Amino acid sequence: MKLILLATLAFAVNAFAQSVKSNIPYVENGHARHVLDIYAPANAKNLPVVFWIHGGGWTQGDKTDVKLKPQWFMDKGFVFVSTNYRLLPEVDMGTLIRDVAKAFGWMEIHIAEYGGDPKRVLVGGHSAGAQLAAFICTDDRYLKAEGASLDCLIGCVPVDGDTYDVPAIIETAETRLRVHHLPPRVNGHREKFGGTPEKHIDFSAVTHVAKGKGIPPFLILHVAAHPDTSAQAARLGNALKEAGVPTTVFGAKDTSHVKLNDDLGLPDDPATKALDTFVTGLLKK
């Protein structure tokens, strides 16, 4: 009984030995969604940072949907930042991405106040957030507009995204519907990403992958049984590898789009083990 009580107490101390600051504005007098949350271990100082971008099809979702990730990363010695951004259709895709970049720019300026190191940032995200994470880590224009750059990035972890190559997913989805004589989707990827081939190409992370840009190492997690996210993971992974960017593509078995993300942080979860190996390698550099 005494051992159980001590173990419970140790868990409680670990769970609460942290600082959580919620709904911090990253735009002065901005929109209600121009806010982020910061999770920091107790007495944090000069720790690497995770900048996390939620999913939801670019039309919904919230920064609080992080499940086990803040605690897992804090246990690894990180400060964890989770951001909101304005959503479609209230804004267009370019404005949405600029919101994410603004949050990143604010974080880089202020994160030292919360114990983080602005020069060691890992970017991650799930689903739509995976596209946004991969995009800002390959297309440096958006971060540069906010006074930031790829130089501060130590890694990128997109989780089960299907839009690293937007024209490819549009063709895949529309062909599938056409050959099965099904009606076209309303407000699908074609519309979400601007409606023109030029915008579809420009909003694709693979378009901006190139040697010598300072693109950080990638761990691309995806559901092994999902044909679209698996193909997109391979597409992005191959582009990064061809550009000389250290890249690991991990297909998780016996899981789903939501479960893969929710289970990150569980001790026996295979994707979490891949994440642990990736993060451990980054911190050794």
pLDDT digits (tens, 9 = 90+) for 108-126: 999 999 999 999 999 999 9
Comparison of pLDDT for 270 and 10, the residue scoring more: 270
Q: Which comes out higher in pLDDT, residue 181 or 4?
A: 181
Instruction: Quote the CA–CA distance of 216 and 197 in Å, as a whole number.
Output: 28
**What are 19-39's pLDDT values in tens digits?**
899 999 999 999 999 999 999
A 10 A CB-CB count for 185 gives: 13
Question: Do 93 and 85 form a contact (C-beta atoms < 8 A)?
Answer: no
220 pLDDT tier (thresholds 50, 70, 90) = very high
Cα-based distances in Å from 94 to 118, 141, 203: 25, 12, 8
**pLDDT at position 10, please?**
39
Angstrom distance (rounded) from CA 261 to CA 222 = 9
| pLDDT level of residue 147 (50, 70, 90 thresholds) | very high
Q: How far apart are CA 80 and CA 71, in angstroms?
A: 9
The more confident residue out of 209 and 2 is 209
| Topology (CATH) of 16-284 | Rossmann fold (3.40.50)
The answer to whether 222 and 230 are in contact (CB under 8 A) is: yes
Strand partners for 111? none
- For 51-61, what is each residue's pLDDT tens digit? 999 999 999 99
> From CA 261, how far away is CA 119, in angstroms rounded?
26
**What local confidence, expressed as pLDDT, does residue 9 receive?**
35
Q: How far apart are CA 14 and CA 145, in angstroms?
A: 39
Is the Cβ–Cβ distance between 51 and 104 less than 8 Å? yes
pTM (2 d.p.): 0.93
